[in-house]
Amino acid sequence: MSCMTRQAIFEASVSYFLSPIGEFLEDETVTEVMVNRFDQVYVERAGQLYETDAQFESEDDLLSAVHNIAQWVGREINLEYPILDARLPDGSRVHAIIPPGCRAGTCLTIRKFTQGGLSLEDLIGFGSLSEEAREFLEICVRLRKNIVIAGGTGTGKTSLLGAVSAAVPEEERIVVIEDTSELKLRQQHCIYLEVQRPDQYGRGELTIRQLFVASLRMRPDRIIVGEVRGGEALDMVQAMLSGHSGSLTTVHANSAHDAVIRLETLSMMSDVEIPVYVARAQVASAIDLIVQLERFSEDGSRKIGRITEVVGLDANQQFEMRDLFVCRLTGKSRQGRLLSNLSSTGTQPTFAEEPSQRGMQDRIQYSSAVWRTDT
């Protein structure tokens, strides 16, 4: 009799306990499964929420499924630790919260993992991006610009981060740092670092900040941080300024201006005491581009709303920014999907001459309006 691997046993056990929602976990059109209560299950398809008829037999059945996942990943979920963050064998992300943290009963949310992730071409197909903007972003990645992807919850920041990362040249060494490992880049030379929560005795914790500091000693050509949400923002900004250009990250913000203010605020949360004007000056110098994502509730679509250059600080020490691309809604398709066009504003970035200075003219086909090619 062949011996099952630990991974195979985990898969079999998870599929048994999660069988009431198994069809949605296998359905590639479903991006998220939300179990609000044992008898109330919603799914997300193409950005829209749908209620389903699926349900667990009882609260106990749902709780058993959560305990089973916790046991396999070596975490605790109980009255003392009522929240669980974990990953299923296929890479899907699991978040569970049990009473008293959740009043109606155990709540389970599973964000599906898409193998290989989306490409920029896929985003053009979805109408989230234009050929001109795609080419512009790819050239900016090759020019080692520091790019921040900003957006609210569920706007697709991680998906876009993965898609933009595809433009990093194959020969570079990439270190990826995430809270929960979601990115799977197509390049061969990638090291994936993941945050670790402490055990019940407070041991074994690894924070984004610790991983970031460690990554700087790993000779990275690029550092990609899944999301900055704490004092590690200062480490990242300072690394960008000291020779680790070409970094990519995401931040939770609803506009480009909010994004830089948030990075400034997060930098101040570091244990290094710095005055606000220093934090602001460093963010203004370090960040080159903000790519702003928006989600439209009308049809659930996610689109790039703007691509904005952070120029620096003006005479009043305020952030100076300029929109290079803006998305304009142009109508609706017969299927009721919003149609839009993300096009150049006619403003050129401060680094408009760099592609021709670096011999990249052959890469410019669609975005010539953005670059100066006459040098």
Do 319 and 208 lie in one domain? The reply is yes
Q: Which residues contact 182 (CB under 8 A, 6 or more apart)?
A: 91, 93, 111, 113, 158, 162, 226
* Contact (CB, 8 A) for 133 and 307: yes
Give the chain's domain count.
2
| pLDDT for 291 beyond 90 | yes
Q: Which residues contact 219 (CB under 8 A, 6 or more apart)?
A: 173
Share of the chain above pLDDT 90, in %: 64
| Predicted confidence band of residue 115 (pLDDT cuts 50, 70, 90) | low
| pLDDT for 185 beyond 70 | yes
Do 96 and 125 lie in one domain? The reply is no
Mean pLDDT of 123-132: 89
* Contact (CB, 8 A) for 151 and 293: yes
pTM of this prediction exceeds 0.85: no
- Per-residue pLDDT of 326-371, as tens digits, reads 999 888 888 888 888 899 999 999 999 999 999 999 999 999 999 9
Among 1-5, 6-10, 17-21, 150-154, the least confident range: 1-5
CATH of residue 304's domain is 3.40.50.300
Residue 73 domain flag: yes
Mean pLDDT of 268-289: 94
Do 85 and 225 lie in one domain? The reply is no
| pLDDT for 200 beyond 80 | no
Q: What are phi and psi of 39, to 5 degrees?
A: -115, 20
Residue 161 domain flag: yes
Mean pLDDT of 94-98: 94
How far is residue 152's CA from residue 174's CA, in Å, rounded to a whole number? 26
The strand order across the sheet containing 48-51 reads 48-51, 40-45, 30-37, 107-111, 93-97, 83-87
Do 58 and 191 lie in one domain? The reply is no
Question: Which of the listed residues 111, 145, 168 is the one where a domain comes to its end?
Answer: 111
Among 123-127, 134-138, 217-221, the least confident range: 123-127
- Per-residue pLDDT of 233-271, as tens digits, reads 999 999 999 888 999 999 999 999 999 999 999 999 988
Mean pLDDT of 280-308: 93
Residue 183 domain flag: yes
pLDDT at 288: 98
Do 27 and 142 lie in one domain? The reply is no
Residue 335 domain flag: yes
* Contact (CB, 8 A) for 165 and 248: yes
Do 57 and 90 lie in one domain? The reply is yes
Residue 76 domain flag: yes
Do 184 and 97 lie in one domain? The reply is no
Mean pLDDT of 122-135: 91
User: Which region, left, alpha or beta, applies to residue 70 given φ > 0 means left and ψ of -120 to 50 means alpha?
Assistant: alpha
pLDDT at 2: 58
Residue 374 domain flag: no
| Predicted confidence band of residue 93 (pLDDT cuts 50, 70, 90) | confident
Give me the count of residues in the chain. 375
* Contact (CB, 8 A) for 250 and 226: yes
Residue 315 domain flag: yes
Do 288 and 335 lie in one domain? The reply is yes
Mean pLDDT of 80-109: 89
Do 128 and 182 lie in one domain? The reply is yes
Mean pLDDT of 32-40: 95
Do 100 and 132 lie in one domain? The reply is no
Burial grade of 323 (CB within 10 A; 0-12, 13-18, 19 or more):
middle
Mean pLDDT of 112-119: 74
- Dig out the tokens for 126 from the structure: 């979805």
| pLDDT for 210 beyond 60 | yes
How far is residue 47's CA from residue 51's CA, in Å, rounded to a whole number? 13
Diameter of the chain by CA atoms?
A: 76
The chain-wide mean pLDDT, for the chain, equals: 91
Q: Which domain holds residue 54?
A: 6-111
CATH of residue 69's domain is 3.30.450.90
Residue 372 domain flag: no
Question: Which of the listed residues 55, 82, 111 is the one where a domain comes to its end?
Answer: 111
- Dig out the tokens for 300 from the structure: 């659930």
Do 35 and 157 lie in one domain? The reply is no
Question: Which of the listed residues 57, 82, 111 is the one where a domain comes to its end?
Answer: 111
Do 201 and 256 lie in one domain? The reply is yes
* Contact (CB, 8 A) for 182 and 112: no
